Amino acid sequence: MRKYIIMGVQGCGKGTQAKLLCAGYDLTHLCVGDIFRWNVQNHTKLAARIKRIMASGNLVGDEVVEEIVRRRLDEHDWNYGFVLDGFPRNRPQAEFFLESYDIDATILIEVPDEVTRERIQARRLCAKCGLDYNLMFHRPAQDGVCDVCKGKLVQRLDDNEEAIRTRLKNYHEKTAPIIELFKRKELVVVVDGTRSPDAIQADIRRQLKLPQV
């Protein structure tokens, strides 16, 4: 069983790295942002409470987030382990998590803000199947159209200039300080996220001492 948290500023590539790690070792990708986006897309009861907060780039309230994480982990569909992506994002969430769960390591992907800003603005998402694209590294064959399902590619609601500013501010003020907390309690693996996705993944696996697959 392998249990990891992946952290880093928005646009650092943590979603991509989490997916590569999960694919390699049969882990389950638990992404809080994806759970929220699914709710918004499907107009659930929860969506009404979180839609505006998400679009502004602010953090959803801790009680709501903690409940979502608790419920998701309680599903126990992660036989070989998980990569938790997008949680915790502030001290209360980190304390809640450390009180109730244990993990093997926290992966921290470091990328300067100027780089993530550019990457986020180039980010596109298929409105139909949810596949991620980036106009800098992973362009669709046809502009604005998903390669897989031919759905329309759109920008995330919170990938606009103002929301990005809020998200980066929140990251530096609220999320970055909790890394110290994890450093004291757990193993923190720091990787340079400015390299290619494959090079970053290889570095993560090497630092986690994972067997080659």
Residues of this chain that bind ligand AMP (CB under 6 A): 10, 32-33, 36, 53-54, 57-60, 65, 86-87, 89, 93, 158, 167
HSE-CB at 126 with a 13 A cutoff on CA atoms is: 17
Nearer to ligand AMP, 11 or 105 (CB): 11
> What's at 126, amino acid-wise?
C
Cβ-proximal residues to 21 (8 Å cutoff; 6+ apart), any chain: 4, 6, 27, 83, 201, 204, 205
Rg (CA), the chain: 17
User: 19, 72, 119, 167: which is the annotated catalytic residue?
Assistant: 167
Nearer to ligand AMP, 27 or 54 (CB): 54
- Catalytic, 169? Answer no
CB 162, min distance to ligand AMP, A: 12
Q: Answer for the pair 66, 96: CB distance below 8 angstroms, yes or no.
A: yes
- Catalytic, 156? Answer yes
Nearest residue to ligand AMP, by Cβ distance, number only: 33
Q: 25 has which bridge partners? A: none
Query: Nearest Cα to 13, choosing from 196, 165, 205?
Result: 196
CB 174, min distance to ligand AMP, A: 9
CB 179, min distance to ligand AMP, A: 14
CB 213, min distance to ligand AMP, A: 27
Instruction: Kindly list the catalytic residues.
Output: 14, 89, 123, 156, 167
